[in-house]
Amino acid sequence: MRSDAIDSVASTFLKRPVRASWQGSTADSLRGSFAGPRLEFQGLATAWLPLERVVVLADHASFSPGLPAHIAVKRPRVVVAVGQSAVDAWVKRFRLPFRLELGSRSLSVHTEIAGFPVGEIEAGLQVVGGWFVLQPRRASIMGVPNYVASLFRTYLPLPPLTEETRLLSIEHAPGELQLTFGIDDFEEDVTPGLSERLRARVLPWVR
């Protein structure tokens, strides 16, 4: 289900445009019970890479009226999508000696020297100390053996994991990288400062 009115209320509350949807009947919604709630944000800026899309979803959310009102969220997740244009801008900004391509199965690092292509390294993502690191898998560098790939390592400027955040999956698509994070269930009273508390818990890296 969708509602333009809900979109407007959520956008005002969260102070940024958002598209809201959920499953279930209208009667359930009127009772404050939402199955499969989903909030989708487009084009969020961070201190690292700008994000093409961020989706916050959960198995279930409930709203209990009162003084104060109360919300409870079960199995919340955050899906972050990074686009090729953002990666290209990052490489260009720091004048890095390689081109990073988001492929259908992995990330490819195309190295150059003085503008001439030297080789290609296929890399996956690995989490080290909460940060995302490119992990080389194989290399093709002017006929040099594959073990040269082990010498290549760089951090990818993706939002770091917080203490209560778990990386659930990494999905590759041509021109896009999608990461899904899990967060612990939570409950909050609807009191002043709630939007900031939720942002700090769910989207701590959003400006």
At 202, the pLDDT band (50, 70, 90 cuts) reads: confident
Q: What is the pLDDT of residue 14?
A: 67
Longest CA–CA separation in the chain, Å: 70
Answer yes or no: is pLDDT of 2 > 70.
Answer: no
Looking at per-residue pLDDT, the higher value among 12 and 168 belongs to 168
Say what percent of the chain tops pLDDT 70.
Answer: 84
Q: What is the pLDDT of residue 128?
A: 83
What residue has token string 């009273």?
Answer: 189
Torsion, CA 86, CA 92, CA 93, CA 94, rounded to 10? 120
Q: What is the pLDDT of residue 183?
A: 92
Answer yes or no: is pLDDT of 180 > 90.
Answer: yes
Answer yes or no: is pLDDT of 125 > 60.
Answer: yes
Answer yes or no: is pLDDT of 26 > 70.
Answer: yes
Cα distances (Å, whole numbers) of residue 44 to 52, 156, 177, 204, 205: 7, 17, 15, 12, 10
Contact 143, 186 (CB under 8 A): no
Across the range 2-27, mean pLDDT stands at 77
d(C-alpha 72, C-alpha 199), whole Å: 15
Cα distances (Å, whole numbers) of residue 177 to 112, 121, 133, 180: 23, 17, 14, 10
Answer yes or no: is pLDDT of 145 > 60.
Answer: no
State pLDDT tens for residues 86-118. 999 988 888 877 788 999 988 888 776 556 566
Looking at per-residue pLDDT, the higher value among 40 and 205 belongs to 40
Answer yes or no: is pLDDT of 73 > 80.
Answer: yes
Contact 34, 62 (CB under 8 A): yes
Instruction: Tell me the two tokens of residue 16.
Output: 């940024």
At 48, the pLDDT band (50, 70, 90 cuts) reads: confident
Contact 188, 71 (CB under 8 A): yes
Looking at per-residue pLDDT, the higher value among 5 and 129 belongs to 129
Looking at per-residue pLDDT, the higher value among 148 and 45 belongs to 45
Answer yes or no: is pLDDT of 167 > 80.
Answer: yes
